Amino acid sequence: MPLALPLGACAPVTTAQPVQVWEGSARVVISVQRYRLTFTENVQTHEIRGTLDNRTSGDSFLAAGTLLPTPEGDTLSAQISAGESPRLRASLLGFGVQDVPLKAGALLSGTIRGETLTGNLTINGLRHGLSMKRVRR
C-alpha cells in the first residue's frame, strides 16, 4: 500500500475538453445553407477538432484547426475536409483523374465575441459570409 501514493502522484492529470456547438447560416452562391459546427479544443495547444454539418444538404465534414485568444475575441481558423467521402476515379483515352473527392473542402475563419461567431466559409476560392450563435446544452 505505501507504493500507491507515490505512483498516483505520477499519473497524468486529464482535464475535460468541453464540446462547443455553434449553429448558423451562410449564403452559398444563391441559396442559404444552415450549418452546425461542433468541436473540442485542446486548451494547451489551442488545437480544435470536430465536424461541420450542412443541415440543409445533410452532408458532414471534418474540421481541424486552431482557436487562438486575441484582445478582439477568439480567432477561429479551421480546414474543412470531406474525410472518408467517396472519391472519383475515371479515365478517358488514357487520361484520367484519381482520388478526387466528390465533396469540396473549405476554410472556415472567423472571430468569436461572446455568443457569436462571425466570419467566412471559403469554398473553391469563393468567400461566403457566415454567422453563428453558440448553442448551450
The residues spanned by each domain of the chain are: 15-134
- How confident is residue 15, by pLDDT bands cut at 50, 70 and 90? low
pLDDT at position 116 over 70? yes
- How confident is residue 70, by pLDDT bands cut at 50, 70 and 90? very high
Superfamily, domain 15-134: Quinohemoprotein amine dehydrogenase alpha subunit, domain 2 (2.40.128.120)
* CA–CA distance, 137 with 35 (Å, rounded to integer): 17
Query: Residue 99 class from Cβ within 10 Å (0-12 exposed, 13-18 middle, 19+ buried)?
Result: exposed
- What Å distances lie between residue 34 and 45, 68, 82, CA to CA? 29, 25, 17
For residue range 19-45, list pLDDT tens digits in order.
999 999 998 888 999 999 999 999 999
The pLDDT score that the predictor gives to residue 96 is 62
- How confident is residue 49, by pLDDT bands cut at 50, 70 and 90? very high
The pLDDT score that the predictor gives to residue 28 is 85
Cell of 33: 445553407
The pLDDT score that the predictor gives to residue 89 is 60
Better-predicted residue by pLDDT, 32 or 4: 32
